[in-house]
A and B are shown apart, each in its own frame.
Chain A
Amino acid sequence: MKFAIVQFPGSNCDHDAYHAARHVLGRQAEFVWHKDADLGGADAVVLPGGFSYGDYLRTGAIARFSPVMGAVREFADAGGPVIGICNGFQVLLEAGLLEGALLRNRRLKFLCRHVHVRVEQTDTPFSGAASAGQVLRLPIAHGEGSYHAAPETVDALEANRQVVFRYCEADGTVTDAGNPNGSLRAIAGVCNRRRNVVGLMPHPERACESALGSGDGRVVLESVVAAMTATGAA
């Protein structure tokens, strides 16, 4: 089971994702440079958080044109599991691999803190090991994480069960107070129709060790390990 962790200029959670995959989960992990056109035979692809190209212009707007994104698209089209975390989520949206967009947080401030998210769907490679409705305590760290899409798009996402993670209170109830950035319908993460591409604003890779305040994020990465091992990519 091998993770490919894509490095864009300005990525800064690449090493965090690597640490979680390699040292916490004990799996293989390799960095893939944004100028590379292949993913080195990885079983799962991580687009990490950070500030690709400084987030100048728009978060993720420039990174989506990197050569590596062609390979990521092919990998996704072939059904391979792809996860975009924070900036990586923004890149996937800009690239059209996921639907919607992210606006500035409603209070216009960068916000770094732990929040609660509810696992809404467990039939994706990044939530399969979780139980439906399970509440995870995960950090967020973003200035532009307010999920937005046209009403009909959001309805379609809900109808197709593509909302994978939703902000909530500690007890799992979805309230405005539990929504840190003003995301539509408290959406914290979504997947594509095919369900193999997942993006979310919170940082599961920052919550894989209790020493860091929460181990709840492990289940996200363990899900894809389980899914891949099942398909024989041990």
Chain B
Amino acid sequence: MTDQAAIDAHGLSADEYRRLVEILGREPTSTELGIFSVMWSEHCSYKSSRRHLRRLPTEGPRVLQGPGENAGAVDIGDGLAAVFKIESHNHPSFIEPYQGAATGVGGIIRDIFTMGARPIALLDSLRFGEIEDGRGGTRAETVRLVDGVVAGIAGYGNSIGIPTVGGEAAFEPGYAGNPLVNVFCLGVAKAGRLAKGVASGAGNPVYYVGARTGRDGIHGATMASAEFDEQSADNRPAVQVGDPFMEKLLLEACLEVMETDALVGIQDMGAAGLTCSTCEMAARGGTGIDIDVSRVPQRETGMTPYEIMLSESQERMLLVVRRGRGAEVERVFDKWDLHAVRIGEVTGGGLLRVRDRGRVVAEIPNRELADAAPLYDRPTRYPAYLDEAQRLDLSALDVPPDPTRTWLDLLAAPVIASKRWIYRQYDHMVRTNTVALPGLGAAVVRIKGTGRALAMSVDGNGRYAWLDPREGGRLAVAEAARNVACAGAEPIGATNCLNFGNPERPEIMWQFVEAVDGIAEACRALGIPITGGNVSLYNETDGQAIDPTPVLGVVGVLDDAARVLTRLFPEAGLDVVLLGDAAPVAAGADGLGGSEYLKRAHGLVRGRPAPVDFDRERALQRLVVDAARRGMVCSAHDCAEGGLAVALAECCIESGGVGARVDLPGPAGPDDGFGVVRTLFGESPSRIIVSAAPAGRDGLLALARDRGVPAAAIGRTGGGRVTVSVAGEVVADAALNTAERAWATGLARHFEPAAVRGSAP
């Protein structure tokens, strides 16, 4: 009888253990216990989230691969597929920022090339605690984390030669004890030749290739699913060091092997390493796998079968090769100084059989192991904090005396300010496909050999989601898609990373369920299928959960790469046109709830985020994409954090001195003194600022009318100032270079030259 201590140590509940014994029909060996514990961990089994994820729309005419494989894929024309996914590496990045972030990048890249795709773009979605100390100074602890995480992403992505072309970075108290590091990767493959993580054909050899196995990250998978506390310090030996050079060799060698037809299936060894890859591949193939761990290349001496099966050493792949084709495959890996080692073969039996020098140490029905993990329908409860948090009483607040100062202060807010300090550390140009540089809106990479380009955006807002998880999910989809549309691209697919606290707490589970439903509604309404994603739960430190944070990654296609748009006003003398409602007044729609304005001007996180009207949103996005295709607009930028006034300034900043002068209707909403504030800083969605040649303006307005999208010419580009009036009266006015300085230094000012620990090893 396995003793209780061992069962607990493996994080298995009594029920789960009973289930395991049923499946085996006997008590497990220690190796088997380890195997079950990692496969049935939250991280690998999605046992709390799976039943809810089923509600996400995953089908569409372009979908070539939905959830279930290593990554999703959509048809982008020309016989090509875009393969993409987003992954979190939150816990490891908190324990060791540089290596945690670096190995996160390595992991998501493997997911992409495992599908037979050449990775061509990375985006990073980052969240940390406040970086401002509230006294004009800097929080050193945040700087240390940001510095390490950014250096880690740069260290891995730059070295392997995949450009990091975009992302987002936010700073909120809720992430102080638990930063979020989500990385998105996109690759391109021949539509007909997607590789699969499947083991079929009894007798086909199973190969191991890549880094040798060490004791790294043993129980990393269970760690990533266990709430963080002081004891986590003991997990430190679990930190892994990334080897981008090894992965570069693996990437090239694997893609070369896939050019041949000798490959049956391939999967990387990520969480739960050899265990997960063997049993998932066999489960997908309806087969079994028989391996001998003594053949696995090992970095350390005296490793037990248990350790070898659970190790999470990085940069390792598992391949199933057609019988008789092994030599061919070995030759390719040899060329790259890698050694493919045959560790076993596919069997008919449906059993995962693990041997050590021939002796069987584990024998598990792998379908059950992979798919019969217990699924939970965890209880949910409406959070106690919510009603109070959603109540926003402006009458209790002072109207800011000088909107221009508020405006400049918003431009300097770390979440809005230039992220140059971050993305200049990333090689965002390698592979010479980057047709829209970071910082200008969605990331856009061209597809050589076609006229097309792909636009990508990752977006989410934890503050919105905390105040209204469902709306937060809806808004995340809407904004990520809108960012893509603003580049002139039609959104065609999405992936998502769901970062939440401990799902065993009903209020957290409620947030999760609401957010998933919000994402599902939005994706249905906008016709954007979800092709995959990642769930990261237990994001808590000492009982303090993060803000619920659904992050969406949306991919769009531009049929003509030359028609790409950025946020920048290209020249003076253009008409500035606002697509969408200039002054949304409907109660609760003014966009002050949860706004950056409320946070900075009043220190409040309150109210409800303005809801998205998806008929309006869809029409708006189609309009801007069509206008871009027809060359009717010269630039496009959506209104996000900071509202219209900030968005307008962002159209001028870095444009090379092209200012703007606009006049907005309003003041909006009830006569409570906040009318101008609403108009300037309200964050209601579904609004895009475009510039157009005067000659084309009326055509654009007419097209908008046809599409039922409110549109108004609000001003002209040009001059060295950015000036906003409301109802003819100037309410905010600044020299462009003043605005630019505030925006350029808001984040960068917090960073001294690299700290030693943050810097590369």
Contact = CB atoms under 8 A, between A and B. Distances in A.
Interface of A: 9-10, 12-13, 15-16, 19-20, 23, 49-51, 53-56, 107-113, 139, 141, 143, 203, 205-206, 208-209, 211-213
A212 B435 contact: yes
Nearest to A213: B437
A57 B161 CA distance: 19
A68 to B, nearest CB: 14
A111 B424 contact: yes
12 contacts: A9-B337, A51-B161, A51-B245, A54-B159, A54-B243, A55-B159, A56-B245, A111-B425, A112-B425, A112-B426, A112-B427, A139-B429
Given A211-B435, A212-B432, A212-B434, A10 B562 contact: no
A20 B432 contact: yes
Contacts of A109: 151, 424-425, 753-754
B29 interface: no
Contacts of A51: 158-161, 244-245, 248
Contacts of B431: 12, 15-16
A108 B753 contact: yes
Contact of B432 (A19, A111, A112): A19
Given A9-B336, A108-B754, A206-B430, 5 more contacts: A9-B337, A20-B432, A49-B430, A107-B753, A109-B424
Interface string B182-205: 000000000000000000000000
A51 B162 CA distance: 12
Contacts of B561: 211
Contacts of B446: 211
Contacts of A213: 437
Interface residues of B, number: 36
Nearest to A9: B249
Contacts, number: 93
Contacts of A108: 753-754, 759
B168 to A, nearest CB: 18
B362 interface: no
B154 interface: yes
B482 interface: no
B448 interface: yes
Interface string B248-289: 110000000000000000000000000000000000000000
B153 to A, nearest CB: 10
Given A12-B430, A203-B429, A211-B562, A54 B245 contact: yes
Contacts of A53: 245
A127 B426 CA distance: 29
B428 interface: yes
Given A9-B249, A9-B336, A205 B753 contact: no
Contacts of A49: 430
A53 to B, nearest CB: 6
B144 to A, nearest CB: 15
Closest 5 CB pairs of A and B: A12-B161, A54-B245, A108-B754, A51-B159, A141-B427
Contacts of B249: 9-10
A50 B754 contact: no
A102 to B, nearest CB: 16
Contacts of B429: 112, 139, 141, 203, 206, 212
The winner among B151, B161, B337, B759 for most chain A CB atoms within 10 A is B161
Contacts of A10: 159, 245, 248-249
Nearest to B246: A54
Interface in B155-180: 155, 158-161
Nearest to B432: A16
Contacts of B245: 9-10, 51, 53-54, 56
Nearest to A11: B161
Contacts of A211: 435, 446, 561-562
A112 B157 CA distance: 13
Contacts of B423: 112
Nearest to A53: B245
A112 to B, nearest CB: 5
A163 B151 CA distance: 32
A121 B122 CA distance: 38
The winner among A9, A12, A208, A209 for most chain B CB atoms within 10 A is A12
Given A12-B160, A110-B158, A206-B429, A54 B434 contact: no
A13 B160 CA distance: 10
B430 to A, nearest CB: 6
A203 B432 CA distance: 11
B98 to A, nearest CB: 13
Interface in B407-435: 423-432, 434-435
Contacts of A203: 429
A93 to B, nearest CB: 19
A3 B246 CA distance: 28
A172 B336 CA distance: 44
Nearest to A33: B335
B427 A110 contact: yes
A108 B446 CA distance: 31
A56 B507 CA distance: 48
A9 B760 CA distance: 20
Contacts of A54: 159, 243-246, 248
Nearest to A180: B424
Given A51-B161, A112-B424, A206 B248 contact: no
A143 B188 CA distance: 28
Nearest to A50: B161
Contact of A141 (B246, B430, B759): B430
Contacts of B246: 54
Contacts of B160: 12, 51
Interface in B179-235: none
A213 B446 CA distance: 13
B209 to A, nearest CB: 15
Contacts of B427: 110, 112, 141
A9 B248 contact: yes
Contacts of A206: 429-430, 432
A209 B434 CA distance: 11
B424 A12 contact: no
A50 B562 CA distance: 28
A205 B429 CA distance: 11
Contacts of B159: 10, 12, 51, 54-55
A209 B429 CA distance: 13
A40 B159 CA distance: 28
Contacts of A112: 158, 423-429
A218 B8 CA distance: 65
A140 B595 CA distance: 38
A53 B245 CA distance: 6
Contacts of B432: 16, 19-20, 205-206, 208-209, 212
B564 to A, nearest CB: 9
Nearest to B436: A213
A9 B448 CA distance: 23
Contacts of A15: 431
A140 B246 CA distance: 25
Contacts of A139: 429
Nearest to A51: B159
B458 to A, nearest CB: 19
Nearest to B761: A56
A51 B672 CA distance: 60
B424 A113 contact: yes
A143 to B, nearest CB: 8
A24 B435 CA distance: 16
A75 B639 CA distance: 57
Nearest to A109: B425
A55 B761 CA distance: 12
A109 B153 CA distance: 13
A130 B760 CA distance: 38
A139 B244 CA distance: 23
Given A112-B425, A139-B429, A13 B562 contact: no
B761 to A, nearest CB: 10
Nearest to A35: B335
Contacts of A113: 424
B39 to A, nearest CB: 33
